[in-house]
Structures are given as C-alpha cells and as structure tokens.
Chain A
C-alpha cells in the first residue's frame, strides 16, 4: 500500500495481558515514530527510530513499553502487563530523514 499501515485497528485486552501493535511504514522511509493519543488529547511522543536504531525512547511511559524495528522497516510496539491507563490510540508515523510525517490510522487499545 501507499500509506502507513497499522494492525490491528482495534485491540481489547484484559488487564495484565501483553499486547503487540504492528506498524508497516511507507517503503523507503528512514524515520519511524510512535505516538500515544489519549481521548480528547493530542498525540504524545513515545519513541523514534532511524532505520533499525532506536535513537530516542524518552517518551515511553514505563519499562512495560518496548519498541523494536529489527530490520529497519516494520516496527512493533509491545506493552507488557497492560493497565487501564494504557487505553489510548497508538499512532505510528514515518518520514524521510527530515520530511513530512505520514501517520497511520492508529490502533485503538482498550484495556478492561
């Protein structure tokens, strides 16, 4: 596809369950970002990759959050032992090194 693809679109998890969210960036895009958007708020930065290198993970809320991009393309955001406060839309975006950010449609995570 031509855009950033995220899966699943919706995820319902029981509290304590582990989840994995996938992002397929635009082909050739070097930079990849994860953002968290709570209801009624703007996106909050989580982490940034340049190719396979995670250059900034300062926005990850706790050590339960882990992101990887092992081959410099697809990325996975993993949340261990989910809590209710983790409920949010998780957005992935990609870009050329210094270019326009293209966002995916997001994964809406609901933790019950």
Chain B
C-alpha cells in the first residue's frame, strides 16, 4: 500500500509540449523528493523540497511543495525525448524512511 498517490499513471506527449505530474497524500511529510528512474536502473534523485509552499526550479523542471506539506507537483516545460522515464515522488516521515508513490511513466515522442 502506497501512502502517496501519483497522477496520471501514464503520460505520452510530443516533444516541445508541457506536462505536469501530481503527487498527493493524506499524510504530512517532513520533506518530499522527486526521482526519475529509467528501465533497468535505480531511481536518481532530482530534487528535495522541505518547506510548505516551496518552489524549486531545475532548468526546465519546476517542483512545488504544497502549503500543508501533503502534496507536490512536477512541471516540465518544453519536454524533450531525454525526459522520458518513470517519475517517482517520495515522502520522508522520519529521517531515513521514504514512502514512494507508484510513479508516473512519461513518454516524450520526437
């Protein structure tokens, strides 16, 4: 059972389009992380957000943490084929323990 719900489950878009992935929970987290996982590999950390309402930008990626620290979103501007992958959000409720969502599979078509 996953504490974090991600939507949509699958997303297929054309190169150059924008996309948003959502991560929601009924639990409050001390921090929330976003990972990208490619087939046959482990997840790779993209960003950690800690403060409610925080917005972080990483090139074409924008991450937002909800005011109540229960939800988050990832927005990609002008998506490229290299953005293709499984995007996972993970909430930290203790110093070490992460609870992952089921992930959103993003496919960017050239």
Contacts and interface: CB of A to CB of B under 8 A. Distances in A.
Interface of A: 4, 31, 33, 35, 40-45, 48, 55-56, 91, 93, 98, 100-101, 103-106
Given A41-B2, A104-B42, A105-B40, A31 B96 contact: yes
Contact of A42 (B41, B42, B48, B100): B100
Given A42-B4, A43-B88, A48-B96, 8 more contacts: A4-B42, A45-B97, A55-B96, A91-B42, A93-B42, A100-B48, A101-B45, A101-B98
11 contacts: A31-B96, A42-B101, A42-B102, A42-B103, A48-B97, A93-B42, A98-B95, A98-B96, A103-B42, A105-B42, A106-B41
Interface residues of B, number: 20
B100 A44 contact: yes
B97 A43 contact: no
A106 B102 contact: no
Contacts of B41: 103, 105-106
A100 B103 CA distance: 19
Contact of B97 (A42, A56, A105): A56
